[in-house]
Amino acid sequence: MNPFVAVYGHMHVDVLFDIDTMPPLGSEVVANNLAVAIGGGPCVYPYHLAKLGVPSVLGTVLEDDLVSDMARNLLKELDYRNIREFSLGIENPVVITSVFTSPSSRSFVSYPAVRQSPLDAEQLLNLIGNCSVTMNPHDAELSQELRRRGIRLIADSSVNRGLTMDQYEDVLPMVEFFTPSDFEATAICGEDDLLRCLDILGESLHHPIITMGARGLLVKSEGRYLHLPAIPGLQCVDTTGAGDNFVAGLMYGMYRDFDLLRTLMHANVFGGLSTEVYGCYRRDFSAELVSETLARHLEPREVTSVSDIH
């Protein structure tokens, strides 16, 4: 059986420091908590989707080196099974990121920088060419081939890619969902008004959405601006990976063939639940947990101005 979701992702190992305040340069603070975990990105999607019965696979590059072995051990601890490893003989295949998270902000230090997949087009097609949903690749010809095969594409915004519309104008007509945050959307669209940003994104997308963290999300549908609030009652400890889990929720809605709003509500649930644990992966993730949390989701509400969002 072909997987419904197949994705390629650089493996990330995150070292997370929970601190009260960011240290100024040249100073030192003691962390309240320390965790070492597999990081986010596309690696998140198959892990949580598989727990809900969605056939999914992750392709990633791991070599015979210390950090790759560290990643393998962390994956084993997660009981992460649906992985296809590639060995290409490259240096530094795993991205190491130090995450400094405080009540007011987060900062990151990563090495090496990630720009694109080291797999060639044939290897990527072999991995994702028979699935139903994947993330839009950076290769325009490959995107077109995936679309020709009827594969549904999702695109995420990226500071590495750039936050200007000219970086996305060829991508947006190819994808079903694009998931910028409010900060990213205003930068990409060159517009401070989020509803106007939805208008601009809607010139290329059927269902433009903007995520807003603790304020939920905005979507423009059938000429209406709708606000979906964040899930009430969640105990947030770490927002790392919330955006990646949001995308996993979109994929789940697509798998279940939900309508737009029900799909977005599930994306809100996936993203919100991830904030209750340190790191990007929730080991107790289950259909029951999703159902219980979805029952607390408030109904979408039409807005005419950003000031209508509370």
Place of tokens 């209750």: 276
| CA 243-133-256 angle, 5° bins | 85
Strands 152-155 and 133-135 come out as: parallel
Alpha-carbon distance of 231 to 247, in angstroms, equals 16
**Domain with 227 in it: what CATH number?**
3.40.1190.20
Containing 17, the helix (H) or strand (E) segment is strand 12-18
Q: What would the pLDDT profile of 58-103 be if each residue is shown by its tens digit?
A: 999 999 999 999 999 999 999 998 999 999 999 999 999 998 888 7
The single residue listed with the structure tokens 């060829």 is 170
Residues 255/46, Cβ–Cβ less than 8 Å: no
Q: Is there a contact between 10 and 95 (Cβ–Cβ < 8 Å)?
A: yes
Amino acid letter, residue 100: F
Each residue of 286-298: b (16+ CB within 10 Å) or e?
eeebbeebeeebe
Q: Residue 296's domain spans which residues?
A: 5-112+120-308
Cα–Cα distance list, 290 to 39, 131, 233 (Å): 22, 24, 14
Q: Between β-strands 12-18 and 95-101, what pairing exists: parallel, antiparallel or unpaired? A: parallel
Q: Measure the CA–CA gap between 111 and 94, rounded to whole angstroms.
A: 9
Q: Six-digit token pair at 296?
A: 């607390």
pLDDT at 157: 78
The count of other CB atoms within 10 Å of the CB of residue 106 is 13
d(CA 209, CA 199): 10
Give the C-alpha separation, 10 to 8, whole Å.
7
Q: Token pair for residue 92?
A: 């530094």
Note down pLDDT in tens along the chain; length 310 residues: 799 999 999 999 999 898 999 888 999 999 999 989 999 899 999 999 999 999 999 999 999 999 999 999 999 999 998 999 999 999 999 999 998 888 777 788 999 987 778 999 999 999 999 999 999 998 889 999 999 999 999 998 765 556 788 889 899 999 999 999 999 999 999 999 999 999 999 999 999 999 999 999 999 999 999 999 999 999 998 888 899 999 999 999 999 999 999 999 999 999 999 999 988 899 999 999 999 999 999 999 999 998 888 7
Residue 158, pLDDT score: 67
Look at the chain and report how many structural domains it folds into: 1
Rounded CA separation 242/108 (Å) = 15
- Quote the pLDDT of residue 309: 85
Nearest to 236 by CA among 54, 18, 13: 18
